[in-house]
Chain A
Amino acid sequence: MIIRSKKASNISSSEITPPEIYLGRRRFIRDAGLGLATLALGGTTLTAEIAGQSQEIPARFRNLKSELGEELNSYRDITTYNNFYEFGTDKRDPSRNSGEFEPQPWTVSIEGHVNKPGNYELDDLLAPVTMEDRIYRLRCVEAWSMVIPWYGFPLAELIKRVEPTGNAKFVRFETVHRPEQMPYQKTGVLPWPYVEGLRIDEAMHPLTTLVTGIYGTELPNQNGAPLRLIVPWKYGFKGIKSIVKIEFVERMPTNTWKMANSFEYGFYSNVNPEVSHPRWSQARERRLPSLFKSHETLMFNGYAEEVSHLYAGMDLHRWK
């Protein structure tokens, strides 16, 4: 993976600085960083046209590739082809039906076996962290994939700050429940709210990222604004969106897809070309925008070197 970091302020000062000021400062620092990148590349910003609205994309993304030399998917692809069942089951539904969703203000409840539980304003959570661009492959369980430049910070940073106790063996995440803004939460297509989980060592892994943006810009509603999870070696559905609750628990939580169909979906859901979905092979994928499903799927989605030690001695055919 490619990680580009820009140091934000190290002062954790949510108590002494009003949100608009430190938010402004973070923006200033980020923009200063961008300015340098723009100068260095000698270019202007790139623009993506989405439904008549243009989205400015920082020029640092021009010609950027993944560590395997893979092209990035376009802003348009990433924001118009989404699985976010709260807004509909068709891939185009989230971009069409999420306009009413309000990602600000946002509070995240941290609960369970931690020394510092509580309701945290998102801005307070973000204030002290170092934001980074992370270019990851996203492999959907449906056998398509993209390469996406996320913008966020390691989940581990947040976990360390809330000080989990020895009983915190797993982390359980929950998506917001707002049927009035998320139309499909009025249906029973999945049990709501959406729940996901990680083992604590998976959650602490440096690749595991809490995401607030793509292409260096604000995360659109259809991609899980304002805060989502990305675990690049696992199938996409592990990347829970619009997170309002992070709970530290002792026992393995039951994630939504496992709840909906435990025969087909498990807790771990690591990308594994050797373990088929009961209904289709996982050996190949369609790397969008390619038309052909001919891209070979890599063990742990190509991150085996970084993460395979987490599963040493585990039978991955059994622990799906």
Chain B
Amino acid sequence: MAMPKKFLTFTQGWTFTAGSKPHSSPGSNTMIQKHRILVCKMVIWVAALSPGAWLVAGLIFNWLGPNPIETLTHITGMTTLVLLLVTLSITPLRQITGWNGAIRLRRLLGLFSFFYALIHFNIWFVFDQVFNWRWMVEDIIERPYITVGFSAFVTLIPLALTSTKGWMRRLGIRWTKIHRGVYLAATLGVIHYYWLVKADVRLPLLLAFCLSVLLIYRVPGWLEKRRRTIERSHGSNIN
């Protein structure tokens, strides 16, 4: 089982050097690398902003239908989840392609996901709850799908706040632990979607399937890491 070990080395590599400068490789390679990342980031900006742009245009030109708030809520929620899943596929992508630069796209994707979650929450608070804190709290307490969706949103807040390089450096290894919250947020988000659908659960199930694949993919790595930690602690006991 040489492959998982190799993956693991990568994982630890980025974990511990997350706040530092990118690995310096021979000159032209670095140029190509930088160029590639720049292009990817531009693609992400355009792709991630396009649902928002479509919604704004829809509001202006009135093509969101008789209940625009419903359309706004659905599309911002959907975009949040899709971007969150794309964010979670960066690590597998990196390991499968061996392109380490991919890791530098992850924060941008995660922040765009949070950006849509924030809009999604605010649409709900303004138009569904009509700025009424009491109604909002009642709904969060009494409606499980809202409880779950709200929890997902709250889970994302510290991740977004600590996404800067400064916070990465300050938190060190704790940063990695805190940012495991993304697995919780994604799971809660998908449950939220599944619970709010009336009958046609095909799309939420598709998202749940993608999330499961992304989580299951990580399991061997986690087990391997756990095994190593136990071995290491055993070793230190003997010594």
| A interface, CB within 8 angstroms of B | 73, 76-77, 80-81, 85, 89, 91-92, 142, 144, 187, 189-190, 260-261, 276, 279-281, 286, 288-289, 291-294
Q: Quick check: A92 and B127 within 8 Å, CB to CB?
A: no
A-B pairs with beta carbons under 8 A, tally: 60
User: What is the distance, in angstroms, from B120's C-beta to the closest C-beta of chain A?
Assistant: 15
Cα-based distance from A187 to B202 in the complex (angstroms): 10
Known: A81-B65, A92-B65, A190-B199. 4 other contacts (CB 8 A): A85-B199, A89-B200, A91-B67, A288-B66
Cα-based distance from A190 to B201 in the complex (angstroms): 11
Cβ of A73: which chain B residues have Cβ within 8 Å of it? 66
Cβ of A77: which chain B residues have Cβ within 8 Å of it? 66
CB-CB under 8 A for A76 and B195, given A276-B142, A279-B144, A280-B143? no
Is B128 in contact with chain A by the CB < 8 A criterion? yes
User: What is the distance, in angstroms, from A310's C-beta to the closest C-beta of chain B?
Assistant: 27
Count of chain B residues with a beta carbon within 8 Å of a chain A beta carbon: 23
Cα-based distance from A158 to B195 in the complex (angstroms): 41
A sample of 7 cross-chain residue pairs with beta-carbon separation below 8 angstroms, ordered by A number, consists of A80-B66, A91-B70, A189-B202, A276-B142, A280-B139, A286-B128, A294-B130
Cα-based distance from A168 to B226 in the complex (angstroms): 69
CB-CB under 8 A for A76 and B66, given A189-B200, A292-B130, A294-B130? yes
Cα-based distance from A294 to B135 in the complex (angstroms): 11
User: What is the distance, in angstroms, from B67's C-beta to the closest C-beta of chain A?
Assistant: 6
Cα-based distance from A288 to B129 in the complex (angstroms): 16
CB-CB under 8 A for A291 and B69, given A89-B200, A260-B199? yes
Cα-based distance from A91 to B200 in the complex (angstroms): 13
Is B68 in contact with chain A by the CB < 8 A criterion? yes
Q: Which of B61-93 contact A (CB under 8 A)?
A: 65-70
Cβ of A190: which chain B residues have Cβ within 8 Å of it? 199
Cβ of B56: which chain A residues have Cβ within 8 Å of it? none
Cβ of B68: which chain A residues have Cβ within 8 Å of it? 291
Cβ of A286: which chain B residues have Cβ within 8 Å of it? 67, 69, 127-128
Cβ of A81: which chain B residues have Cβ within 8 Å of it? 65-67
CB-CB under 8 A for A281 and B67, given A260-B199, A293-B130, A294-B130? no
Cα-based distance from A260 to B138 in the complex (angstroms): 28
Cα-based distance from A142 to B198 in the complex (angstroms): 9
A141, closest chain B residue (CB): B198
Cβ of A80: which chain B residues have Cβ within 8 Å of it? 65-66
Cα-based distance from A291 to B66 in the complex (angstroms): 9
